[in-house]
Amino acid sequence: MKPAAETRIRVRYAETDQMGVVYYANYLVWMEVGRVEFCKACGFNYRDMEDADGVRMAVAEASCRYASPARFDDEVVIKTWIENANPRMVTFAYEMSAAEDGRRLASGHTRHILVDREFRRTRLPAKYFSMFGLAAPSELV
């Protein structure tokens, strides 16, 4: 497995449905939490990439496979890593598990295209290449 970051969250009552389990769409929110924390673990703040460099990662695809339910007050571990990246697109992978017993709750991925402030496709600035596991621009020639 590639380098990963772990984030822990505790299930809030508002995240559960009438059956007492976490509502399925909340797993996508948790993926976003994991992605932002992964960026911080790699040495940059995603907000700074947007503000200073004008680069955004627009979600082009999202997938989540559910394995076991989480319930109110469970602690959840979100493991996040980059599955695939190139200068124009990045795919993050996620595994969510119960902290108590390691039981897999869900796994998934999000694929992002890089866009500028006007939402036109763009390239990842070279200063982020190593953080995304990419070769330096001079090595691509």
Q: Is 11 helix (H, G, I), strand (E, B) or coil?
A: coil
Kindly list the distances between the CA atom of residue 102 and the CA atoms of 15, 74, 96, 99, 106, in Å, as whole numbers in the listed order: 20, 12, 9, 6, 12
Query: Does residue 17 carry a catalytic annotation?
Result: yes
Distance of alpha carbon 18 from alpha carbon 44, whole angstroms: 39
CB distance 125 to 105 below 8 Å: no
Strand 56-66, strand 4-10: pairing: unpaired
Instruction: Tell whether the torsion through CA atoms of 22, 27, 77 and 13 is positive or negative.
Output: negative
Catalytic position from the list 17, 51, 73, 116: 17
Looking at the annotation, which residues are catalytic?
A: 17
